[in-house]
Chain A
Amino acid sequence: MELNILLFGITKDIVGQQKLRYELPEGATVPDLVAHLKKSYPKLHDLNSVMIAVNNEYGQEDQTLHESDEVALIPPVSGG
């Protein structure tokens, strides 16, 4: 399946764009996506944490991803 991934902050700089179309095997979960992305973009290893948001909520460890989901990569937050 092909996911559309939104990028913010440092992850936007690492990937070099605001949105990424990314191919993943069917049935892939949130941790699968993190692992694949870290392989594709090794600089993601330098971050304190990389979280995945699915449809505007933090993704769960066992959550399966679907092509229709709005997926975002969430580097360590720093508002306030």
Chain B
Amino acid sequence: MAEIYKKEIQLKDYPKDVLLNFYRTMVKIRKFDENLIRLMQEGKVSGFYHSGIGSEGLSAGSIRENLRDEDYIYYNHRGCNQKIAKGVPLSKIYGDFLGTTEGTTKGLGAGIVHSADPARGVMGQAGTIGSQLGIGIGTAYASKFKGTDQVTVIYFGDGAASREMLHGSLNWAGLYNLPVIYICENNEYAISCHVSETHAVREHIADWAYGYGIPNCVVDGNDVLLMHEATKEAVERAKRGEGPTFIEAQTFRHRGHFEGDPYDYVDGELLKDWKENKDPIRNFVSRLLLDKVTDEQELKTIDQEVEQEILEAIKKAESAPQPEPGRIYEGLFA
């Protein structure tokens, strides 16, 4: 059954700039999110938004130092985190939310789902959550078919893991030994339902992978370095032609399912504990400071640089025009 991934990690084993890059990526994700929520409150962004605050470590750790532009990802519906870690320009993501021509969809509007940046390996996301579990198999199959060492990483939630498609996907991945990595962002809730109310697994979601002969583990998704190490092993395995890996990363939503969700189905004390004691950014900062990798001043400078980058991205996205009405007729066929 699924093992808990453990590893003694010494900060001194990492170059300082790598550590600071992890920090910068996580801060970028959080500030992106906070500013997007501000734009929603100002009435500039409509529709649904699923905030990724609280699970920045999972995306930054798995992607930042492990994946190249040519490696593919399918982000989940809390996945601005993953798009940002993979390097999609912030102005493009904001453009999708604002529905301006700066967005990756050139004004069709999108946001959490349907942004894409194929040049950076960001292949999109299904509004029917979990459908990427099947599509990602095709991407991995194509890489194997072509003989490249490209890796496909599929992100999905614990709720999406109950989709029938997970099993079809795992079966193919195991059967054809595909270079695919499953990262289940287990934040315990699927809208209002706790994972224990909707899953008949032995113990962990990762246990399912075992049945298909796929190496698997459960990892603290809020520990950016642990997340990095676990994914690194999976990426190396895939590149060596040894096939799929399933990683169940544990985390928690700081906010409700969508903006506007009262989030009253979660115990207040529990939420407080995740926010105060398990925040991926806060804990990483403590560690960096404790080991004297950096100091508060340097981190503050990074914060300011990120803030500046975000404000410029928003400006760029906002100042681009709305599409012409005819936009809806473009792009259906090649």
A binds B: no
Q: Give A contacts to B, CB under 8 Å.
A: none
Q: Which residues of B contact A (CB under 8 A)?
A: none
